[in-house]
Structures are given as C-alpha cells and as structure tokens.
Structure 1
C-alpha cells in the first residue's frame, strides 16, 4: 500500500489525484492490521468512533460520491433514521467484507475518474439542505473531496489505533512492509 506518492509516479493529474486517494486509503487499512473484530469495533478514545465504523463510513462515502458523479443512486441510502449505522458494522458485516467491498469501490472510482472526458465535467449536487441550491461540482472537486475525507478519517484512525495498543502509523507501515525504520 502506498505510504508516499513520489512525483514521478503520479503521471498526469488524474493519476496524481488517484494516487493521493490510494495513499489515504492505505492509512485507514493499516490502522486495522492485526486487530480482532472486537478491537476494531471498540471505542478507546473520547470519541464514539471505532476503526471498523470508520472503515464502513469511508467506503460508503467514496461509493456514494462516485455514484452521484455518475448520476446514479448511492448503493446505501442514508437518512436520519439510519445515519448512525454508517459508523458501525451491523448484521453480517465484518472488517474483511468491508475491505473487500472497498477494493471493488476503489476499482470503480479509478475506472470512473480515468473514463470521464474531463476532470472539469460537472454534475448536480443532491437537493440536501447542506448543499447550495442547484449546486454543481466537478469530477476534480470530488477527487479532492475524497482526499480530504479520507485524510481526516485516516488521522482519526491513527489516534484510535494508538489508543488501542500503542501502535503508531510508522510502526504499522513497518509491520505491513516487513521493515524496521522510523
């Protein structure tokens, strides 16, 4: 998983945006390395956030924004009655199933971003009260928004993981890569 995006690996703007999205996905995935389902679902900090809940949330967010960009309905419809379920696993959901789903969503994101004629192409925002009326955003905006969303939650994941067992982001990179630096 990407831990640094070197300039020469970015290629064009689409490649750069996708590489930075993947870099932030990696931070969240690494925070889950070696944890039991109980640890992933626990809330060891002052927040009610858990690692498994953050995972589910970022997967749903990414999928829903790409669906909006394609002008399709999100796979999961959320409203006030089920909004809390976006931050916790329910039913037969597991960390493993969410990670597998995220791989699928990530592939769909990449295919979509690479297929649009222009990153300047726009689409309408939903008529939700927190969006400007008749607002539109570009595919570039969606990519930047996903980077921001993932980075914010990768930071949350770092804090939660360190609160669980003391493992820092650098230690998790070492564990993932089988190295011993930092």
Structure 2
C-alpha cells in the first residue's frame, strides 16, 4: 500500500496540505492490485465501490476548489445525474480518474500555496445543510477535505477487506 510523505511540514498550511494528501493516499491505495471489475464491485452492505469512491473524492475536491476560486465547476452535478458521481460510467477507468484527481490535487495545492492567508474566505453555496449566506476560510476547506477523505478511506478499508481480505492497517 502507498504511504504518505515522511516529510513533516512545520507550518499550518503545509501541515494541513500533508493531512489532506495522507487521506487522498489512503483512498488511492485502496485499489492497488485490483482489476477494474473488482474495484467496481460492491461486496459489502454498502452501495459504495472503490472506484466510485475515487471518482466521488476527485469530483468533491474539484467542487470545493471551484467554490474557493469562485469559478464555475466544469463537472457540476445535477440532481438528475448525482448517482453517476459514485460509479464509473462508460469510458471511465481507474487510471483516468486517478489522473484527473492528480490534476485537481495539484491545482488545489498551488491555489492554497498562493493565498496570502488561510483566513481567505469564500461563500458557501445555498444548501439546506449550510447556514444561509455563510462564508468559510481556506483553513475550513482543508479540514473539511481531511474529514471527507478520512470518512471515505474508512469506507474503502471495509470494501477492500470484503473483496480480498486486504487490510489497510494490517
């Protein structure tokens, strides 16, 4: 399984980016050695597959990046196609999803490193789960990605162990 960097950054920005990357790495590692069919399988009680989790994580990161940049999301999901965010569709593959996610990750890191401060804020979109007219900082965004990816890395651990017995921590 892949391991996160052994370099420990001393500043807040570097530390947060390292924690985001560690959780990304855990998700990416969940598909190592599996076929596309195995990674698309749903062997547990969950509807989630490993390849679907990778796609979802990549699209979530792009969405948050575009919100922070206050730019339109070129892959914005609608209610009608929301379910497609959790499985690969025709023409999609794990290498393609990972390459897309790598590009988004590099763009997010460059964006964060160029900010004058992690206190830079952007508005949250209208949603029943967000306070109306709320803004969040880039610090909040990075912590949210850690939370999101850690949750899904746990899902991925269970799905992977159900596929072939591989344990992330054992």
Residue-by-residue CA offset, 1:47-100 (whole Å, 9 max, x unaligned):
010000000000000111011000011221112101101101112111110001
Which portions of structure 1, spanning 4 or more consecutive aligned residues, are displaced by more than 2 angstroms?
Answer: 1-6
Secondary structure (helix, strand or coil) at the match of 2:169 reads: helix
CA distance in 2, matches of 1:143, 1:4: 17
Q: CA separation in 2, counterparts of 1:82 and 1:58?
A: 16
- What residue in structure 1 maps to residue 43 of structure 2? 44
Unaligned runs of 5+ in 1: 172-182
Q: Provide the secondary structure at the position in 1 that maps to 2:90.
A: coil
Aligned length: 169
Give the RMSD, CA atoms, in angstroms.
1.3
SS in structure 2 of the partner of residue 169 of structure 1 = coil
Distance 2:67 2:10 in 1: 26
Matched, 1:100 2:99: yes
Match of 1:57? Answer: 56
* Cα deviation 1:97-153 (Å, max 9, x = unaligned): 000111101101110110111101111111223221101000000000000000000
Distance 1:16 1:33 in 2: 26
SS of equivalent to 2:66: helix
TM-score, normalised on structure 1?
Answer: 0.89
Partner of 2:116: 117
With the length of structure 2 as denominator, give the TM-score of the two structures: 0.95
